[in-house]
Structure 1
Amino acid sequence: MPNDRLRDALLRNGLTPAKVASAIGVDPKTVERWITKGRSPHQRHRHAIAAMVRETEKYLWPDAVSPERKAEVADSEVVQVFPHRNSIPVELWDRLINDASAQVDILVHAGMFLVERPKFVKGLAQKAAKGARIRLTFGDPDSPEVALRSEQEDLGEGTLGAKIRNVLAAYRPLRDVDGVKIRFHRTTLYNSIFRFDDEMIINTHVYGIQGAHAPSLHLRRLSAGDLFETYAESFDTVWHKSARATF
């Protein structure tokens, strides 16, 4: 069966089989067989090609990496575990936010702590102007899911919805900025996701505990890894079910 993902990735990056073959030191016919017959390259070649097309090995060759190897790599994707989100060093947030140049994805209910950073919203606009893709999705303040979460976190009736509305006021300058998309979701949010290029902060949600006090993971994407991609796919699933935010 042809490997259409590999074919598409090469085309998107302007790479021919001959160019790939020259770069990694194989015969062009070998690269053709990887595409047309779906054969899997050796690990070193998979890694090189994945880097060239900026995709993961898991995406290009879903069955090439054994479950045991995926588990090992997933362990390496966890940079650090924090007992509480508010114990993440400011310096780490600074680096992740400032260094992101291609993609910023944020899935939260409110995420008020972000707009407490004076330059955060303006920085997103600047990144979008340079070609970055910015996707922000907040809890729909009028949804039953947000009302339930407000109750579960013992915030008081209507508190979380009001908090979201307050936060959205800070994002008004981004409403008409090219490259920035803002949506409302109505999901049962199990994790807040903060993606900055190939790194993520995952803020887990624990029943009865406010997000700032719940554990968080710092992840870094690895080519053969599964963990980072799991959360990336989760974000995409919520994003595609979300509606354009009006505020």
Structure 2
Amino acid sequence: MWHQLFRAARDEIGVLAYAGLFLAEDMGIMRVLAQRARAGVAVRILLGDPDGACVAERGSDEGVGESMAAKIRNALVHYRALREVAGVDIRLHDTVLYNSVYRADDDLLINPHAYGIAAAHAPVLHLRRTEDGDMASTHLESFERVWACSSSV
């Protein structure tokens, strides 16, 4: 599903997560992100600041402590190759995430976060933006708010 989502993007790909390590470790996904960026698709990746208070709290909430920050640092190592690709922008945020957001144009995969549950064990919802003000638009607005307060890697 992730490959299909990102391959279909024509204008924009967005990732908003704390670590999203499963994406960074998938060489096929990494190739798709690079290919889409080279084809003119804007790729924006937002990961949690491994030194931030929100990541520390999420690690504590999930009972994994410092490993949450370690996952982000690991993902950043994997994303290093993408940082050299024009059209890819990777940033860090220190915000509370209620959902992880994975976007390809108007199609979104939303991973709601549940207290004490690792994101990988929570459900994923598929939404499609059909008009302003719909459920997908709400998640896209949230992405933009986090982007606005993020910092470059």
Q: Could you state the TM-score of these two structures normalised by the residue count of structure 1?
A: 0.60
Distance in 2 between residues matched to 1:206 and 1:224, nearest whole Å: 27
Q: Trace 1:42-191 onto structure 2 (pairs within 5 A).
A: 92-156=1-65, 158-191=66-99
* Structure 1 residue 242, shift from structure 2 partner: 0.3
- 1:20 corresponds in structure 2 to none
* Structure 1 residue 231, shift from structure 2 partner: 0.5
Distance in 1 between residues matched to 2:105 and 2:70, nearest whole Å: 30
* Structure 1 residue 222, shift from structure 2 partner: 0.9
Distance in 1 between residues matched to 2:21 and 2:84, nearest whole Å: 21
Q: Tell me how large the CA RMSD over aligned residues is.
A: 1.3
- 2:114 corresponds in structure 1 to 206
Q: Which runs of 5+ in 1 are unaligned?
A: 1-91
Summarize deviations over 1:161-215 as a string: whole Å, max 9, x none. 1111011111111213221111000001111000011100110011111101112
Q: Which amino acid aligns with 1:138?
A: L
Distance in 2 between residues matched to 1:232 and 1:214, nearest whole Å: 20
Contact kept in structure 1, 2:103 and 2:109, CA below 8 Å: yes
- 1:217 corresponds in structure 2 to 125
For the residue of structure 1 that corresponds to 2:110, the secondary structure is strand
Distance in 2 between residues matched to 1:211 and 1:179, nearest whole Å: 27
* Structure 1 residue 132, shift from structure 2 partner: 0.4
- 2:100 corresponds in structure 1 to 192
* Structure 1 residue 218, shift from structure 2 partner: 0.5
Structure 1 segments, 4+ long, off by >3 Å, are: none
* Structure 1 residue 123, shift from structure 2 partner: 1.8
Distance in 2 between residues matched to 1:116 and 1:176, nearest whole Å: 17
Distance in 2 between residues matched to 1:183 and 1:231, nearest whole Å: 18
Distance in 1 between residues matched to 2:25 and 2:131, nearest whole Å: 34
Q: Which amino acid aligns with 1:194?
A: Y
